[in-house]
Amino acid sequence: MSVTQDSHDSQDSTDKPAVAGAVETSTKLASHLHPAGSFDLADHPVPNGREEVWRFTPLKRLRGLHDGTFTEGGKGSVEIDAPGEVTVERVGRDDPRLGTVYTPNDRVSAQAWQSFEQARVISVPAEAELERPILVNVTGEGTGPDATFHHLLVDVGAHARATVVVRHQGHAVRAGNTEIRVGDGANLTFVSVQDWDDDAVHLAHLHAEVGRDASYRQALVSIGGDLVRISSSVEYAGPGGEAELLGLYFADAGQHLEHRLFVDHNAPKTRSNVDYKGALQGQGAHSVWIGDVLIRQVAEGIETYESNRNLVLTDGCQADSVPNLEIETGEIEGAGHASTTGRFDDQQLFYLQSRGIDADEARRLVVHGFFADIIRRIGVTEIRDELMRTVEGELERSVGTPLASGGAR
């Protein structure tokens, strides 16, 4: 059986072409949405914006990361604070471990691979049980358009248990790749918070290889920056692995926040659950969520579900949400997806206000309710309060009036 589903849910969207390339069916084994990658930049043509993987991204705002016209010399720092049993290294491009998990599969990812000077490698020994998270603080210290490139490898040994929290702050024009290997039976929680200054541009690719019976939980939180585009992909190194990919984003006026998920069920009895929630407010706030799941012929007995929910708080926002399922075997436990875009409109505001709740509190109530469960499920107590405060902070910035949605009768 070969089925591809596509749906497109867009708010205040202008007409967009259908995902023509995504709806054909085929018997080939590889995903036609995600062709094999390449380390060679020349194998990745400069995008023109009409490609399926670039059509939602405003190329003009990439500061030349996509076509080689960027300027080098951006400044920034990376601080890593890890428990004693963890090895943290700074290695050269020739380190043989680099590129063993992930091969760049788009132009900017290949550019980052070609341009980084030194990589960071974080290794958690087998069977280690870390008592506190590994903290990675990335601070952009640039002021202009100069770019930085980075590469990170996180290697978690078999049956180890670890949490990594990456925080991005400051100003940067940054592109990079993160390779994550979760060893057999290991358990890794990987959180990445994008809380950049308003003018930052950040394109990243995270790729995780989930070992046999391993458990991988990832949470991407994108709040700040002019343009943030994160591609996150998962494949399995053996049967029985599970991946939970959670996301939270809050797009303000003029912000472009894009998350592209790809789960490659290339092993039997594997599980994946993708759940992203986003809020949008202000003129020109734009979010993009692409959720691709490929169930290969070999992947019998797998279970997958992906969900994206958007909450539009004001007029002038656009939420694009495209779930895709490519199914090459019917012998599975389950596969499904959901995508919704809800509005906090003036009727809801009136209802809450008519019960004595003022407008700010009403908005807060709705946004809290919307995000509370996803923040709880991220499950890292160290950052739970921080995330709630961050959401609060976004609400403080709130501009614009709730949506008009017709009046009362």
Partner 1 sequence: MSILEIRDLHVSVDASDRGDEPIPILNGVDLTIKAGQTHAIMGPNGSGKSTLAYSIAGHPKYQVTAGTVTLDGADVLSMSVDERARAGLFLAMQYPVEVPGVSVSNFLRTAKTAIDGQPPKLRTWVKDVNTAMERVKMDTAFSTRSVNEGFSGGEKKRHEIVQLEVLNPKVAILDETDSGLDIDALKVVAGGVNRFREQEDRGVLLITHYTRILRYIKPDFVHVFVGGRIAEEGGPELADRLEAEGYDRYVAAAS
In contact, 153 and 179? CB cutoff 8 Å: yes
Q: How far is CA 224 from CA 174, 194, 254, in A?
A: 14, 6, 11
State which of positions 295-334 bind partner 1 (CB under 8 A): 311
Q: Binding residue for partner 1 (CB under 8 A) from 351, 392, 393, 399?
A: 351
The reply on whether position 392 binds partner 1 by CB under 8 A is no
Give the closest residue to 164 by CA, choosing from 137, 195, 183, 126.
137
Nearer to partner 1, 238 or 316 (CB): 316
Give the closest residue to 91 by CA, choosing from 116, 126, 66, 73.
116
Nearer to partner 1, 129 or 360 (CB): 360
Quick one: which segment of 139-147, 181-189, 212-220, 346-354 binds partner 1 (CB under 8 A)? Answer: 346-354
The reply on whether position 376 binds partner 1 by CB under 8 A is no
Name the region of 170 (left: φ>0; alpha: ψ -120 to 50; beta: rest): left
Give the closest residue to 9 by CA, choosing from 247, 239, 340.
340
The reply on whether position 53 binds partner 1 by CB under 8 A is no
Q: Which residues contact 37 (CB under 8 A, 6 or more apart)?
A: 102, 103, 104, 105, 109, 110
The reply on whether position 45 binds partner 1 by CB under 8 A is no
C-alpha span between 92 and 178 (Å, rounded)? 15
Count of helix runs (H) and strand runs (E) in the chain? 5, 20
**Phi–psi pair at 46, nearest 5 degrees:** -65, 125
The reply on whether position 369 binds partner 1 by CB under 8 A is yes
The reply on whether position 377 binds partner 1 by CB under 8 A is no
Give the closest residue to 193 by CA, choosing from 117, 246, 235.
246
The reply on whether position 78 binds partner 1 by CB under 8 A is no
Least gap, CB of 357 to partner 1 (angstroms): 5
The reply on whether position 352 binds partner 1 by CB under 8 A is yes
Least gap, CB of 358 to partner 1 (angstroms): 5
The reply on whether position 365 binds partner 1 by CB under 8 A is yes
Binders of partner 1: how many residues, by CB under 8 A? 25
Q: Binding residue for partner 1 (CB under 8 A) from 347, 379, 386, 388?
A: 347
Q: What 3-state class would DSSP assign to 406?
A: coil
The reply on whether position 350 binds partner 1 by CB under 8 A is yes
Helix intervals (H) in 48-203: 107-115
Q: Binding residue for partner 1 (CB under 8 A) from 41, 126, 357, 388?
A: 357
The reply on whether position 96 binds partner 1 by CB under 8 A is no
The amino acid at 114: Q
Least gap, CB of 409 to partner 1 (angstroms): 6
Nearer to partner 1, 224 or 316 (CB): 316
Least gap, CB of 220 to partner 1 (angstroms): 20
Which residues in this chain contact partner 1 in the complex, by CB under 8 A? 311, 342, 346-348, 350-359, 361, 365-366, 369-370, 404, 406-409
